[in-house]
Chain A
């Protein structure tokens, strides 16, 4: 009796597994990309719907003050130093930076561009709770995190001229912006995921839209005088490390969606942005300073 029960259970189990396998193969065979391999490449390279371009109406975003209007006093000098550090971190804060990026590599156009982590939208929001640190962080601590992860360097302490200058520049840039209000254009735009991410599609997007500036191997292109990057590296030794916010696929996709290709933001579809973000996520870059050996071994690309 017991034998019969066991055999019935076994048969049911075998049937279940077989049925599951069959369902899987059916699902695969119905996938148009698998059925028609000759169409894989063209269908992936073409947008499947009309690209929606983000139209900006005047007054939609906060406009920071002009550089020509920096005051001619001690504070103004600090703001100018802060702007220099922001634009050319490689030169003015070289002792804290280990890779080839500047602040303005991510915070585009001197930290002014909406949807590219604008400084004027961030300054008034701190101190705030950050999930990454699991505590309330001040604006200065947030800048230190940028240096540790995105610039792959060491954190400037709070009494350094670099830190004072960057905070002064941020304060001047957000002159007139409300405090504690999430302004339009803050951070990065929202990206909606509609299907599974595919690095193969992402590779095609990278090669058609990104490669001409960031080069085929993602190493960016150096300035003609050999100092710093004209087009920043998106992976490799001179890029941000695995602890940076950009190592999250969603964050990178949001940045790409809002700003890339340069001057043609919001032309990629959400799915294209996510695919290319996954393709970049899979590449090699400096290790996270927080990363332990075991996590590094089992989750080589994990951001944490």
Chain B
């Protein structure tokens, strides 16, 4: 009797195991992996351009590594959703942006503005003389292709040295913020090492120091305005010029690599 039972148990176990393995295989086939998204159309556009569209690699580097001397940002290894969103925000004409009222905020990636008892939502805008013109030439598919291509490139940062005090102040600001003023730390959203988190929080490590400084300045003067819930605008408004220097120095000093394994 016991032998019968154990045999039956073995058979059941076998069936269950086969089922698990089969479902794993099916799951593996059905889930699209990162490598299955084809970077080729994006690569062609980035390297060669098309018609009046110049090639991206002219400024952003052949491998999307950016230009650290001139403060042109690195694109390699950035989040796919982040690149696509930035291109969309570049393509939106800042002059024609008009505030409009929604009965309920359906797109929560837009920036809320509080005016009395009305919340006005403006679509995110990002002002740059050259990129505004270029992004308008791209189709939606182009933006997706470029995002796919650049998010898969590998990048290794070259840490840049600074004096000790600057780095120490930058670290204090990056890890702890200014608690007595309610200013949160950079790491609380941009990742423990500034590597970025998801499509909303871009990486700070591995970006040129002058680019980071310029972006914070753009937020302060309103040229860049495409953050969620106005989080970054609140933070940028509290940063002094010295803070910008320290933060940029600290993050350009970090070792950082992406897509290298």
Binding site for B on A (CB under 8 A): 41-42, 45-51, 54, 56, 60-63, 66-68, 108-110, 112-114, 118, 207-209, 211-213, 221, 223-224, 230, 261-265, 267
Contact B182 A263 (CB under 8 A): yes
Note all chain A residues with C-beta closer than 8 A to B177: 109
Note all chain B residues with C-beta closer than 8 A to A114: 179-180, 182
Interchain residue pairs with CB less than 8 A apart (13):
A68-B172, A108-B184, A208-B105, A209-B229, A223-B191, A223-B192, A261-B229, A261-B231, A262-B184, A262-B188, A262-B231, A263-B182, A263-B235
Contact A221 B197 (CB under 8 A): yes
Contact A113 B179 (CB under 8 A): yes
Q: Mark B169-181, 1 if CB is under 8 A from A, else 0.
A: 0001001110111
Contact B191 A224 (CB under 8 A): yes
Known contacts A207-B108, A263-B231, then 20 further A-B pairs from the complex at CB < 8 Å, ordered by chain A residue: A42-B103, A50-B117, A54-B182, A67-B172, A68-B172, A108-B179, A109-B176, A109-B184, A109-B185, A112-B180, A113-B182, A114-B182, A118-B179, A208-B108, A212-B228, A213-B189, A262-B189, A263-B182, A264-B234, A267-B114
Contact B118 A263 (CB under 8 A): no
Give the interface residue-count category, chain B. 35 or more
Asked if B200 lies at the interface with its beta carbon under 8 angstroms from chain A, I say yes
Note all chain B residues with C-beta closer than 8 A to A56: 180-182
Contact A50 B231 (CB under 8 A): no
Question: How many residue-residue contacts, CB under 8 A, span A and B?
Answer: 93
Q: Is the interface of B mostly helix, strand, loop or mixed?
A: mixed
Contact B176 A112 (CB under 8 A): yes
Contact A50 B114 (CB under 8 A): yes
Residue on A nearest B232 in the bound complex, by CB: A263
Contact A47 B192 (CB under 8 A): no
Contact B103 A41 (CB under 8 A): yes
Interface residues of B in 186-229 (CB under 8 A from A): 188-189, 191-192, 195, 197-198, 200, 228-229
Note all chain B residues with C-beta closer than 8 A to A60: 180
Task: Kindly provide the distance from the CB of A2 to the nearest chain B CB, expressed in whole angstroms.
Answer: 62
Q: Which among A108, A109, A211 has the greatest number of chain B C-beta atoms within 10 A?
A: A109
Task: Kindly provide the distance from the CB of A140 to the nearest chain B CB, expressed in whole angstroms.
Answer: 24
Q: Nearest 3 A-B pairs (CB), nearest first?
A: A112-B179, A113-B179, A42-B103
Asked if B138 lies at the interface with its beta carbon under 8 angstroms from chain A, I say no
Q: Which among B175, B179, B229 has the greatest number of chain A C-beta atoms within 10 A?
A: B179
Asked if B183 lies at the interface with its beta carbon under 8 angstroms from chain A, I say yes
